[in-house]
Amino acid sequence: MDRALIVSGSEKGMELIAQFLHAYGYTNLTSTASGSEARRLISNSEYALIIINTPLKDEFGHELSVMMSENTSSGIILICKADISDDVSDKVADYGVCVVARPMNKSLFHQSIRLVEATRSRMLGLKRENSKLLVKIDEMRLINRAKCALMQYLKFTEPEAHRYIEKQAMDTRSTRKEVALRILSTYEL
Q: Is residue 109 part of a domain?
A: no
The confidence score (pLDDT) of residue 188 equals 82
Range of the domain at 45: 4-104
Residues 96, 151 within the same domain: no
**Is the residue at 124 inside a domain?**
no
Tell me the per-residue pLDDT of 81-131, one tens digit each, with 9 for 90 and over. 999 999 999 999 999 999 999 888 888 888 999 999 999 999 999 999 999
Q: Does some domain include residue 120?
A: no
Q: Which of 146-180 are b and which e, b meaning 16 or more Cβ less than 10 Å from the residue's Cβ?
A: bbbbbeeeeebeeeebbebbeebbeeeeeebbebb
Give dist(CA 54, CA 39) in Å, integer. Answer: 15
Stated as kind and residue range, the H or E segment containing 135 is: helix 106-153
Instruction: With respect to residue 140, please indicate whether it lies within any of the assigned structural domains.
Output: yes
Model pLDDT, residue 172: 96
Residue 116 lies in a domain: no
Is residue 139 helix, strand or coil? helix
For residue 112, tell me if it sits in a domain: no
The CATH code of the domain that includes 35 is 3.40.50.2300
- 143 and 177 in a single domain? The answer is yes
Rounded to whole angstroms, how far apart are CA atoms 10 and 136?
49
Strand segments (E) across the chain: 4-8, 29-32, 49-53, 75-81, 98-102
Are 27 and 98 members of one domain? Answer: yes
**What percentage of residues in the chain have a pLDDT greater than 90?**
85
Please indicate, yes or no, if residue 125 is contained in any of the structural domains.
no
CATH code, domain carrying 144: 1.10.10.10
- 169 domain-assigned: yes
**CA separation for the pair 61, 34 (Å, rounded):** 9
Domain end call among 104, 139, 157: 104
At residue 1, does pLDDT exceed 60?
no
82 and 159 belong to one structural domain: no
pLDDT at 104: 85
